[in-house]
Chains A and B, each alone.
Chain A
Amino acid sequence: MIEVEHLTKRYGPVTAVDDVSFRVEPGEILGFLGPNGAGKTTTMRILTGYMPPTEGKVTVAGFDVLEQPIEAKRRTGYLPETPPLYPDMRVRDYLTFVAKIKGVPRGEVKARVDRVMKKVYVADMAERQCGRLSKGYKQRVGLAQALIHEPDVLILDEPTAGLDPKQIIETRQLVKDLAGNHTIILSTHILPEVSQTCQRVVIISKGRVVAVDTPDNLTSRVGGSETIYVQVDAMGGDVQAALAVVPGVTGTGIADTSGTVVGLEVQIASGQDIRRGLAAAVVNQGWGLLELRSMRMSLEDIFLHLTTEEARHSDEAEETTTGGEEAVEPVDPEVMNG
């Protein structure tokens, strides 16, 4: 549905996007992941025909965006980082205007506007001026704008940026519902979003693609061994000793202690699930088992791993220290669960 071949964009001496290639299959949701300034927005702008590439070729729904821009744009819906709303226009008038310039047949405009307003839950704000909407509603009207001509391809630039948690969940659900009928590219720097909504991930750093894979494959590819977090109501040294002898454990370390509660990170050989063994070991000692969960390498870690690895490649002069360990931030449990 979308084919990007050797895409390069230079602004004068600065290369924003450097030889990027990937494909998106029909009905797929592709996550476009990268730190700020990695070239996500530039790539998306090229895909939508907003700006031409310096080199390379982009085909959307079978149409080259440079050679047949009108046909390609007809089949593309685009939600830029800031929703492109006219502050003085009412929501209904705005969507009617967009429907007309996107080529919705005149007779269908009204029905289409009503339908899309229901779909993204903005029907109750139809007569409100766009400039007076809350951030969440603006984003939804922005999404309505991208959907109104029922495009084959949807390109969403950070669709959940600036929304509150409830709106984020709603938006994600909306995006998931849209897949199937639409092929979606979604950029973000919120990682759980990608693992929850996307089937495949493109990680981009400094204008280059550093990985293209499914979230699961990325996790197993980068994360060699696994870690289990155990929180026990007992003294630290004892617990460490007790758990070290459980079959399958390759190492233990104290992660945190508070009062009589101790948290340990237990390294295990990959592919084994020894949570039962660990639980039994704790309970047999008569300690209270407060928490036991798998700490699979999160997308966050993979992301940092890949992007910092890239940085090292490009800067050989830097010291070659141990793996990527010091760059990997401790995982924020809330983000992990998010």
Chain B
Amino acid sequence: MGNALTIAHKEVKAYFESPIAYIVIGFFALIFGYFFVALLSYFVGQSLQMQGMGGGAPPLNINQHLIAPLFLNASVVVLFVLPSITMRTYSEEKRSGTIELLLTSPLTDLQIIMGKFIGAMTLWAAMLAVTVPHIGLLFWKGDPEVMQVLTVYLGMLLMGGCCISVGLFISSLTKNQVVAAMATFAVFLLLWVIDWISSFTGPMMQQVLTYLSITQHLDDFTRGVLDTQHLVYYISFIAFGLFLTARSVDTERWRG
């Protein structure tokens, strides 16, 4: 574990020593801020309208009508941003030859992979941290439900973890960072839209496709529901991605 953390530390430093971390965090902050303003304005407008109608209707639920859509929108940004985090993880090491250092050090493949995964997750968490002030503002002026906010963050972290594990795997397949980024983006996109055709297929296929879609599983988290079904999906997805990475690194080794 110590070794994995050493690698994670190196990864995080590498993100922050190059412009990547600042670009992705800045980009995410900008888009999230924009979504926040847009949805907040809409939400305030709706609330005022409801009040104007009078009749003692309950006030709009801030979690359901602001925070949930906000994060569901923000999760689209992940699609564009996370490939640029994961593209370098293995590709760069292969290109520069530093992979020889890692593979000839007394480390197991798992330690290297976990180190890289934790490193990328840390950057993803830093991106999410940017959104904390916005949500803090809502706590200050309104009263959202704490549990629901926490599950949203957990869901976002896990969904990002899925993307990162796929990104790691794809990066381990190529020396070329651009190829890694494009392929990762393509796979994310596919996982995103995979349930769109579900209504045209048979019931069996429909269930499978809906289950595979990574956004479907985020829905419940944004409603404050912590369902083991979704936890299992995300965690097994991440484990599978990391397993594929391990296989890929090992195969590469045999092929030389």
Chain A residues in contact with chain B, CB under 8 A? Answer: 9, 11, 42, 45, 48-52, 69-71, 73-74, 76, 78, 80-89, 93, 97-98, 100-103, 145
Q: Which of A81, A86, A101 is close to B6, meaning CB atoms less than 8 Å apart?
A: A101
B105 interfacial by beta-carbon distance below 8 Å: yes
- Check if B54 is an interface residue, CB within 8 A of chain A: no
Whether B98 pairs with A88 at a CB distance below 8 angstroms is no
Q: Among the listed B104, B253, B256, which residue makes an inter-chain contact with A11, where contact means beta carbons less than 8 Å apart?
A: B256
Q: Which residues of B contact A83 (CB under 8 A)?
A: 97
CA distance A189 to B142 in the complex (A): 74
**A30–B94 Cα gap in the complex (Å)?**
29
B107-A101 in contact (CB<8A) = yes
Complex Cα spacing A86 to B102, Å = 12
Q: Would you call B247 an interface residue if the criterion is a C-beta within 8 Å of the partner chain's C-beta atoms? A: no
Contact (A102, B256) CB under 8 Å given A80-B97, A84-B97, A88-B18: no
Instruction: Tell me, in angstroms, the Cα distance from A45 to B255 when the chains sit together.
Output: 12
18 A-B pairs in the complex with CB atoms less than 8 angstroms apart? A45-B100, A50-B103, A51-B254, A52-B254, A69-B106, A70-B106, A73-B105, A73-B106, A84-B97, A86-B14, A86-B96, A89-B10, A89-B17, A101-B7, A101-B102, A101-B105, A101-B107, A103-B106
Other 20 A-B pairs with CB < 8 A, given A42-B256, A50-B253? A45-B100, A45-B256, A70-B106, A70-B108, A73-B104, A73-B105, A78-B100, A78-B104, A80-B100, A81-B97, A82-B96, A83-B97, A86-B14, A86-B98, A87-B96, A89-B13, A89-B14, A89-B17, A98-B105, A145-B101
Q: What is the interface of chain B mostly: helix, strand, loop, or mixed?
A: helix
Residues of chain A lying within 8 A (CB to CB) of residue B17 = 88-89
In the complex, what distance in Å separates the CA atom of A78 from the CA atom of B103? Answer: 11
Shortest distance between the CB of B6 and any CB in chain A (Å): 5
Bound CA–CA A86/B99 (angstroms): 10
| Docked complex Cα distance between A82 and B95 (Å) | 11
B96 touches A52 (CB 8 A): no
Which positions in B face A, CB cutoff 8 Å? 3, 6-7, 10, 13-14, 17-18, 96-108, 253-256
CB neighbours (8 Å) of A69 from chain B are: 106
Please give, as numbers and ranges, the residues of chain A lying within 8 Å of B14 by CB-CB distance: 86, 88-89
User: CB distance B10 to A50 under 8 Å?
Assistant: no
CB distance from A249 to the nearest CB of B (A): 54
Query: How many angstroms between the C-alpha atoms of A258 and B3 in the bound complex?
Result: 67
Quote the shortest CB–CB distance from A171 to chain B (angstroms). 19
Q: Are B13 and A93 in contact (CB under 8 A)?
A: yes
The 6 closest A-B pairs by CB, nearest first: A84-B101, A73-B106, A48-B104, A84-B98, A74-B106, A88-B17
Determine the residue in chain B with the shortest Cβ distance to A157: B100
Which residues of chain A come closer than 8 Å to B7, judged between CB atoms?
101
A-side contacts of B98, CB under 8 Å: 84-86
Q: Which residue, of A70, A74, A84, A87, has the highest number of chain B Cβ atoms within 10 A?
A: A84
Instruction: Give the shortest distance, in Å, between A128 (CB) and chain B (any CB).
Output: 14
Contact of B10 among A52, A82, A97 (CB under 8 A): A97
A129 to B105, CA, bound (A): 22
Taking CB atoms, residues of chain A closer than 8 Å to B254 are 51-52
- Give A55 Cβ to nearest chain B Cβ, in Å: 13
Q: Which residues of A contact B6 (CB under 8 A)?
A: 97, 100-101
B104 touching A52 by the CB < 8 A rule?
no
Q: Which residue of A51, A82, A85 is within 8 Å of B253 (Cβ)?
A: A51
Q: In the complex, which residue of chain B has the Cβ closest to the Cβ of A77?
A: B104
Q: Contact at A98–B108, with CB atoms within 8 Å?
A: no
When C-beta atoms are compared, the residue in chain A nearest to B5 turns out to be A100
Question: How far, in angstroms, from A72 to B99 measured CA to CA in the complex?
Answer: 18
Chain B residue at smallest Cβ distance from A94: B10
Whether B104 lies near A49 (C-beta < 8 A) is yes
Are A84 and B256 in contact, with the CB atoms below 8 A? Answer: no
Say whether B106 contacts A98, CB under 8 Å: no
What residue of chain A has the Cβ atom nearest to residue B100's Cβ? A80
- Chain A residues, Cβ within 8 Å of B100: 45, 50, 78, 80, 84
A101 to B104, CA, bound (A): 10
Q: Which B residues touch A45, using CB under 8 A?
A: 100, 256
Task: Specify the chain B residue showing the minimal Cβ separation from A98.
Answer: B101
Q: How far is the CA of A97 from the CA of B93 in the complex (A)?
A: 15
Q: Is A76 a contact of B102 with CB atoms below 8 Å? A: no
Please, which residue of chain B has its CB at the minimum distance from the CB of A145? Answer: B101
Cβ contacts under 8 Å, A11 to chain B:
255-256
* Distance A71 CA – B107 CA, assembled complex (angstroms): 10
